[in-house]
């Protein structure tokens, strides 16, 4: 049962690690059940799915205004710049900022809407071939501009989000998490004025979260372990 697994996770996660329940591909009722067990942060990876769940909740709140009033949504998927308005008004954190183009679009949206958007930057360390994700140097350049210029006046940088290579080989997973931790710590050292906000290292999913915690995870994103395998 969803509530048993949530309770078990909370009993074993260190108090410094936030649990993000990844509810993608699962119905709104599963979110209600997890919320009932005390879970508050939920993450979605597709704009349309996030929006339909947010709208469902808005409907329920017409009857009951305080219903699930302290739920928080994170976005963790690839976000196209033409979909920002489906996502940014509703989420407390965009974890998956993976390109300069997306970052610039978020800054423009924030400026136009009078909002400061909370983000994590996503470096690419895993072995899979993808054009998404920053190199470490790109991340240091961005943060350099964030402290040295007005370029990101409507963005607040909270840390790093990453994924390990999709493999059973623990050596590879450890080396990826180690690389992500290294980027995170380098950012904090290079840019001490950001370090008050720059506190999150979002690593760890259902299959690898215990290892991620060894590498300093502050935020684990767990889907299938809580909700089952679906989709
Ligand atoms: C789906 C997803 C997760 C959760 O994965 P599980 O293996 O189901 O726990 C975590 N992070 C991201 C970015 C995802 O897309």
76 in contact with ligand 1, CB cutoff 6 A = yes
DSSP state of 123: B
Q: Is the pTM of this model over 0.85?
A: yes
pLDDT band at 128 (very low <50, low <70, confident <90, very high): confident
- Determine whether the shortest distance from the Cβ of 182 to ligand 1 is under 6 A: no
Across 224-231, average pLDDT: 87
Query: d(Cα 206, Cα 109) in Å, to the nearest integer?
Result: 33
| Mean pLDDT, residues 200-217 taken together | 98
Span 115-127, pLDDT tens digits: 999 999 999 988 7
**Atom of ligand 1 lying closest to residue 206 CA:** 9
Rounded average pLDDT over 160-166: 96
Return mean pLDDT, the chain. Answer: 96
Q: Are 15 and 216 within 8 A, CB to CB?
A: no
For ligand 1, say whether the CB of 133 is within 6 Å of any of its atoms: no
Separate counts of helices (H) and strands (E) for the chain? 9, 8
Q: What is the pLDDT of residue 142?
A: 98
Check: CB of residue 30 under 8 Å from CB of residue 9. Answer: no
Query: Percent of the chain at pLDDT above 90?
Result: 94
CB of 164 sitting under 6 A from ligand 1: no
């Amino acid at each position: 049962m969803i509530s048993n697994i949530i309770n078990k996770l909370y009993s074993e996660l260190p108090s410094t690690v936030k649990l993000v329940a990844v509810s993608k591909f699962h119905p709104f009722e599963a979110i209600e059940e997890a919320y009932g067990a005390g879970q508050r942060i939920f993450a979605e990876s597709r704009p349309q799915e996030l929006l339909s769940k947010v709208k469902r909740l808005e409907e329920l709140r017409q009857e009951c205004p305080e219903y699930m009033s302290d739920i928080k949504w994170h976005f963790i998927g690839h976000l196209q710049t033409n979909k920002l308005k489906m996502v940014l008004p509703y989420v407390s954190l965009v974890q998956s900022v993976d390109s300069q183009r997306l970052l610039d679009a978020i800054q423009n949206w924030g400026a136009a809407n009078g909002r400061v958007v909370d983000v994590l930057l996503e470096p690419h360390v895993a072995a899979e071939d993808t054009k998404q994700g920053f190199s470490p140097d790109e991340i240091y350049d961005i943060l350099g501009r964030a402290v040295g210029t007005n370029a990101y006046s409507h963005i607040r940088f909270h840390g790093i989000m990453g994924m390990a290579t999709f493999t059973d080989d623990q050596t590879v997973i450890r080396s990826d998490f180690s690389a992500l931790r290294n980027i995170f710590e380098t950012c904090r050292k290079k840019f001490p004025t950001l370090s008050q906000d720059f506190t999150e290292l979002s690593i760890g999913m259902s299959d690898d979260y215990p290892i991620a915690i060894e590498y300093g995870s502050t935020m684990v994103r767990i889907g299938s372990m809580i909700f089952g395998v679906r989709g």
